[in-house]
Structure 1
Amino acid sequence: MSKKKEPSIWEGFKAFLMRGNVVDLAVAVVIGAAFTNIVNSLVKGIINPLVGAIGTQNLDNYRSCLSSSCQGTHGIQLLWGSVLGATLSFAITATVVYFLMVLPMAKYLARVEARRKAREGTQEVIEVTELEVLQQIRDELIAQRGVSGRGER
Structure 2
Amino acid sequence: MLKEFKNFILRGNVLDLAVGVIIGAAFTALVKSLVDNLINPLIGLFVQSTALAHLEFTVGKAKFTYGAFLNDAINFVITAFVIFILIKLINRLFPKKETTEEEKINEELDTLREIRDLLKK
- Bin of the TM-score, shorter chain as denominator length: 0.7 to 0.9
Larger radius of gyration: 1
Q: Which has the higher contact order (CA 8 A, sep 6+)?
A: 2
Note the C-alpha offset of 1:124.
Answer: 4.8
1:95 aligns with 2:73: no
What is the count of residue pairs matched by the alignment? 108
1:80 aligns with 2:73: no
Question: Which structure has greater helix proportion?
Answer: 2
3-state SS, counterpart of residue 79 of structure 2: helix
CA RMSD of aligned residues (A): 2.4
Note the C-alpha offset of 1:113.
Answer: 2.7
Deviations 1:117-139 (A, max 9, x none): 8xxxxx75162756xx89xxxxx
TM-score (normalised: structure 2): 0.77
Q: Which residue of 2 aligns with 1:66?
A: 59
Partner amino acid, structure 1, of 2:4: G
Partner amino acid, structure 1, of 2:68: S
Partner amino acid, structure 2, of 1:15: N
TM-score (normalised: structure 1): 0.62
Deviations 1:44-87 (A, max 9, x none): 122101111112131221112121xxxxxxx2111111111011
- Cα separation, 2, equivalents of 1:95 and 1:27: 20
1:27 aligns with 2:19: yes
Structure 1: unaligned runs, 5 residues or longer: 1-8, 68-74, 118-122, 135-153
- Cα separation, 1, equivalents of 2:3 and 2:12: 16
Partner amino acid, structure 1, of 2:89: P
Mapping for residues 1-153 of structure 1, pairs under 5 Å: 9-54=1-46, 55-67=48-60, 75-99=61-85, 101-110=86-95, 113=97, 124-125=101-102, 127=105
- Cα separation, 1, equivalents of 2:101 and 2:58: 66
